[in-house]
Structure 1
Amino acid sequence: MPKLGMGPIRRKQLIEAVLNCIDEWGLSETTTQRISKQAQVSAGIINHYFSGKDGLLEAAMRQILKDLQLGVKARLSTIPQEDFKARVHAIIDGNFDHTQMTSAARKAWLAFWAEAMHKPELRRLQNVNAKRLVSNLTFELNKAFPRSQAQHMAEVIAAAIDGVWLREALNITPSDVITSRKKVEDVFHLFLARYEH
């Protein structure tokens, strides 16, 4: 088995450090000095691997988005293709996965959303994530509903995911994740009650 080089180890170490710093101090107070101290490396290492704090935030969000994608994919892999209802539930569940609900991840998401309004590279990441969510939901819903209806349902469910997630992220003591998911699932069930015959 090949040995992991220092590059990937350092990157992982720095991503964990920036998430810990954002969790403790918030993005505006997260400096390269604090990150380097947390990671126990020199500040120059951050510039070497990420070209500064902004690049490191982007890398951290890429990791969180990858965890999100892998969580959804793992859930979908256990559900038959034709069971669109269970697959929609799996997508909802994946967005409330433990990797997305830690204190550090919640604060990183909030910082990311705020920064994405001002930084094109972060905005692009957010757009990819938002489109992926709607696309995945539309694909599953289109198995039972016409395309335009499936698309509309997907957009509303995606908005419910983001809205409920945001409320929970802003709470000092977020409610149980099961309760959060149930709120979004209720939106899905309202659509089913309205459109299924």
Structure 2
Amino acid sequence: MPRPSNTEERRQQIVDGLLKVMAERGYERASVGEIAKAAGLGPGLVHYHFSGKQEILLTLVGQLASRVRERVETRLAKLKSDDSRARVDAFIDAFLSRGEDAAPEAVASWVTISAEAIRQPEVRAAYEAVVRADLARLESLVADVVGRRRARTIAAGLFAAVQGYFVLSASAPGLVPAGSAAGTVKRMAAGLLDTAEAKEEAS
């Protein structure tokens, strides 16, 4: 595999710097100077590689989306069967489980990004594109269990629970028992899927 260019390395350092600072202090207090310091670079290099803080943020949105999608696909690939319910659980685990690949800084930053999506139209567009794609993926997995008719509602409810756990864990971490999120949402999924299957059989 070819070695990344110096420019790619520097840009990645800067994006990682924003991730670190934003997870600790939020977006507003993530100054270019603080980002540069966290990246181990001078502020001039930040300005050289990015037009501004928002461009770094938009790059981070895309990277966080790619990382969680890799987690989803890795978990789906590890399944030994085509059990549709296990595939829904794998999706939930990819977002909420606390294994070796858990990323608390990414979760905290994602919560901050969702807040910035309310304030900045460009961030809103990027955020919405990510959420739409992730929700569509979950909807397709749910549809494999209960069919298309009820899949959207169930997927939306489960995805809202995932995002809610993100907010709680980032803003009030003591309120969520450690390691409980994935199991709780998977039990919610089981209840919703059981109910939908029962309705399907009754109709």
What is the TM-score with the length of structure 2 in the denominator?
Answer: 0.86
Could you tell me which amino acid in structure 1 is paired with residue 26 of structure 2?
G
Q: 1:193 to 1:10 in 2, by over 3 A?
A: same
Task: Quote the residue 1:138 is aligned against.
Answer: 139
Q: Which one-letter code corresponds to 1:78 in the other structure?
A: K
CA distance change for structure 1 residues 28 and 80 in 2, over 3 Å: closer, same or farther? Answer: same
Give the secondary structure class of the aligned counterpart of 1:3.
coil
Question: What SS is found at the alignment partner of 2:55?
Answer: helix
- Tell me the amino acid that sits aligned with residue 185 of structure 1: K
Contact 1:164 / 1:184 at 8 angstroms: preserved in 2?
no
| Distance in structure 2 (CA, Å) of the matches to 1:26 and 1:8 | 25
Which structure 2 segments of 5+ residues have no match?
Answer: 199-203
**Secondary structure of the equivalent of 1:21?**
helix
Per the alignment, residue 96 of structure 1 pairs with: 96
- Which residue in 1 is equivalent to 2:12? 12
1-structure distance, mates of 2:97, 2:126: 19
- % identical equivalent positions: 24
Give the whole-Å Cα distance in 1 for the aligned partners of 2:3 and 2:137: 36
Aligned counterparts of 2:24 and 2:166: Cα–Cα separation in 1 = 20
SS at match of 1:175: coil
C-alpha distance 9-97 of structure 1, shift in aligned 2 (>3 A): farther
Q: Cα offset for 1:97? A: 4.7
Over residues 118-146 of structure 1, what are the superposed CA-to-partner deviations in whole Å (9 max), with x where a residue is unaligned?
22221122212221222112212222323
- CA–CA distance in 2 between the matches of 1:114 and 1:38? 22
CA distance in structure 1 between the partners assigned to 2:49 and 2:97 by the alignment: 29
1:112 CA displacement: 0.5
SS at match of 1:143: helix
- Give the counterpart letter for 2:52 in structure 1: G
Indicate if the aligned counterparts of 1:164 and 1:183 stay in contact, CA closer than 8 A: no
Give the Å deviation of 1:76. 0.9
Note the C-alpha offset of 1:10: 0.4
2:58–2:123 Cα contact (<8 Å) kept: yes
Task: Name the amino acid aligned to 2:194.
Answer: A
Structure 1 segment 59-74 matched on structure 2, within 5 A: 59-74=59-74
Aligned equivalents of 2:148 and 2:167: distance in 1? Answer: 28
Compute the displacement of 1:32 (Å): 0.6
Q: For the residues of structure 2 that align with 1:100 and 1:171, how far apart are their CA atoms?
A: 18
Q: Which has the higher contact order (CA 8 A, sep 6+)?
A: 2
Q: What is the one-letter code of the residue matched to 2:177?
A: S
Counterpart in the other structure of 2:30: 30
Q: 1:175 aligned to 174, 177, 188, which one?
A: 177
Residue 113 of structure 1 corresponds to: 114
Classify 1:16/1:69 alpha carbon distance in 2 versus 1 (closer, same or farther; 3 Å): same
Cα RMSD after superposing both structures: 2.0
Q: How many residues align?
A: 195
Shift of 1:80: 5.5
Tell whether 2:164 aligns with 1:163: yes
